[in-house]
Amino acid sequence: MATSSALETLIDLAQRESDAIAKRLGAALKAVEEAEQKLVMLDGYRDEYVRKLDAAQLAGITPFAYHNFVAFIGKLDNAILGQREVIKHAQYKADVEKKAWQESERKRLSYRTLNERAALDALALENKRDQKLMDDHAARGARYKQR
């Protein structure tokens, strides 16, 4: 079984790794949230320009202005599609980081469990030695009294 100090070192290294991965996971989740907010903003812009186009059509609009509205809404549609891809990529990265963090935590907890078992084994061995010493001392005392 590994020594306690070696296990402590492994636990410390695993904790550092877990902390670093947790930071990356936090950044990845923040990127997902920001990408989703940007998509909501783009959807809002698109809805606003569709309403403006509808209002302009009711009021009367030139073909040139109509073309500009439609072209701009098309660009917004492309931006929305692109942003959905950004969200997919960001979500994938967040999922990868989450799995890495879970694996890192599993490893850290495994080391901690090994360390706790080693400590319990050492305590049991120490108790066994103490009991043997007590038994030997009691046996010597009994022999001494018999003389």
Q: Is residue 83 within 8 Å of residue 35, measured between CB atoms?
A: yes
- Mean pLDDT to the nearest integer, 46-73: 94
Quote the CA–CA distance of 91 and 33 in Å, as a whole number. 9
Alpha-helical runs (H) found in the chain: 4-59, 63-146
Q: What pLDDT is recorded for position 64?
A: 95
Within 8 A by CB and 6+ apart from 88, the residues are: none
For the packed helices 4-59 and 63-146, what is the interaxial angle rounded to 10 degrees? 160
Domain 4-146 in CATH 1.10.287.1700 = yes
Q: Whole-structure pTM over 0.85, yes or no?
A: no
72-124 pLDDT tens trace = 999 999 999 999 999 999 999 999 999 999 999 999 899 888 888 888 888 88
Q: Where are the domains of the chain?
A: 4-146
Quote the CA–CA distance of 25 and 33 in Å, as a whole number. 12
